[in-house]
A and B are shown apart, each in its own frame.
Chain A
Amino acid sequence: MRYGAVPAVRRLSFEVAKGEIVGLIGPNGAGKSSTLLAIMGVAPITAGDIRHDGRSVRGRSTEEIARSGISLVPEGRHIFAGLTVEENLRLGLAGRRERDGIDRDLGWVSGLFPVVHEFRRRSAGALSGGQQQQLAIARALLSAPDLLLLDEPSLGLAPTVVETVFGALAEIRARGVTILLVEQRAQLTAEFADRTHVMANAELRLTIGPDDAFDTERLAAAYLS
């Protein structure tokens, strides 16, 4: 895929199997967010294919992709500041494939992120950054996705909140949701994910497992390549 004449992502190929957590790390501008936007159909791909459950997502609109079981927590959270927390959550229901199980999922999400439940009557704009991030993930989960895409969920968060968020991700995975996690925090991600791909300059450079998380030399080499 490209932005104008500039290729944003080139020759990228990877798979995420059902139930896995796969990390995607790399320096700024490496093409991580662009990859997620391409999967969601927000940014078009110029060549190649993206498949979900064996079906190509190419040529499908963003909302169709969202309604097929893929949910994105966008970078910068993009919660609706003018709406209440509860209304933000109800918007998450827009992408649901089936109506039943809403109450069960609401209960689960409230348990996962108690602050979101506690502040449900407030304006979402009044929440702190960490609370907004939790709301954005909760909102994405209410569409009952098979695959959850997260774009830098730890960005700008206090360390304790990062812990909360990653703890929640582990629980989300335990529910059978597949996760593709784009992050700046390389070691945290590599340790947490089943596999982590390193992107630099629009291309895939390296794939590492949790045991390689602290192999800083290889990581640094991949970042600078």
Chain B
Amino acid sequence: MTLLQQLIDAVALGALYGLVAVGIGLVFGIMRLVNFAYGEIITAGGYTLAYLNGSSPVVAILACVAACIGLALVQERVFRPLRGASPATMLVATFAVSFLLQNIYLLAFGSRGKPVSTLGGLNTAISLGTLRIRWISIVALAVAAALLAGTTLLLNRTAIGLHMRAAAADFRTARILGVRANRVIASSFVLAGFLAAAVSVLLTVQNPLVTPDYGVSVTLFALVGVVVGGLDRLASASLGGFAIGFAYSLVGARLPTDKSQYLPSLLYGTVILVLLLRPAGLFAPGKSAVERV
């Protein structure tokens, strides 16, 4: 039964990475900006939770959401003037912001890390026969599914969602029709910030020690997933994020402990293979018309 157990954990972690991938993909769709500083939003959420350990979970989660959306909007103001700049410029800018934030965290909170205990209770497991499922796995999966569904509904059923999809497909024409560029960009960052907050809350349950580089590896792995899935489509990007989280968790659990250092090489090797064989992404459709958000 351990394989089934590991599969459940892998699905839960995959769901988290799927959320991160959507957060990155939303902003990319509209701004053509791969935001390497996205992880620092997750870290900010983590520190917020850590400093509110004693308070009620509701207050802590609300504060986490506020902190993440706040930082996302600060990033939006920094990156907004770069719309239309060369990919290299944007990439370097997001790296710079990422390093800056990590070092601010280092100065402010030190390198030893702050533990989060707000929702620690979710680490308890329920037993189904020999199977032990932690609550966090169920909660993570449910929350991720709800947020992905919510994001899809927002994009497909609301006016601002339609404006975002139009801006992602053809920004200039969208503006000619009266779509407000800044509002669309800000909306994508707010939505991405909200998803980052959810990731903070869920991730700190499984991995409670928040360090200055807390969000870096999550972002990096999710980005790998986004690349595997195809950066141009939100659905396949989230699927890619899910796949990488799933693989990471499952392979990590199956690998003998003394071989665990090979895990990243295995994953990155897969990515290289995917890029060689299917440069547009594993789940990208053929040459059909592409809708980016």
> Which residues of A come within 8 Å of B, CB atoms?
40, 42, 61-63, 66-67, 72, 74, 78, 80-83, 87, 90-96, 123, 125, 139-140, 143
**What CA separation (Å) do A74 and B176 show in the bound complex?**
9
Which residue of chain A has the shortest Cβ distance to B180 in the bound complex?
A: A63
| A62 with B176, Cβ < 8 A, contacts A80-B169, A83-B169 known | yes
Instruction: Give 6 new A-B contacts, CB below 8 A, not counting A42-B175, A63-B180, A66-B177.
Output: A63-B175, A83-B162, A94-B163, A94-B178, A94-B179, A125-B289
Tell me which residues across on chain A come within 8 A of B133, comparing CB atoms. none
How many angstroms from the CA of A92 to the CA of B174 in the assembled complex? 9
In the complex, per-residue mask of B164-181: 1 if CB is within 8 Å of any chain A CB, else 0: 011001101111111111
Residues of chain A lying within 8 A (CB to CB) of residue B159 = 90, 93-94
19 contacts across the A-B interface (CB closer than 8 A): A42-B175, A61-B181, A62-B172, A62-B175, A63-B179, A63-B180, A63-B181, A66-B175, A66-B176, A67-B178, A78-B170, A78-B176, A83-B165, A83-B166, A91-B166, A94-B174, A95-B177, A125-B289, A139-B177
The DSSP consensus for interface residues of chain B is helix
Rounded to whole angstroms, the CA-CA distance of A42 and B175 in the bound complex is 9
Residues on A with C-beta less than 8 A from B178 are 63, 66-67, 94-96, 143
* Contact-size category for B: 20 to 34
Which of B216-275 touch A at CB < 8 Å? none
CB–CB A72/B176 < 8 A: yes
Q: How many A-B residue pairs have CB under 8 A?
A: 69
Our pick among B173, B180, B290 for the contact of A74 (Cβ within 8 Å) is: B173
Give A83 to B165 CA distance when docked, in angstroms: 8
Q: Is the CB of A91 within 8 A of B163?
A: yes
B:155-208 near A, CB below 8 Å: 159, 162-163, 165-166, 169-170, 172-181
A91 near B179 with CB under 8 A, answer yes
| Distance between B251 CB and nearest chain A CB, rounded to angstroms | 35
**Across chains A and B, which 9 residue pairs bring their CB atoms closest together, nearest first?**
A95-B178, A82-B291, A66-B178, A94-B178, A78-B173, A62-B175, A67-B178, A94-B179, A63-B175
| In the complex, chain B residues whose CB is within 8 Å of the CB of A123 | 289
Contacts of A95 in B (CB 8 A): 177-178
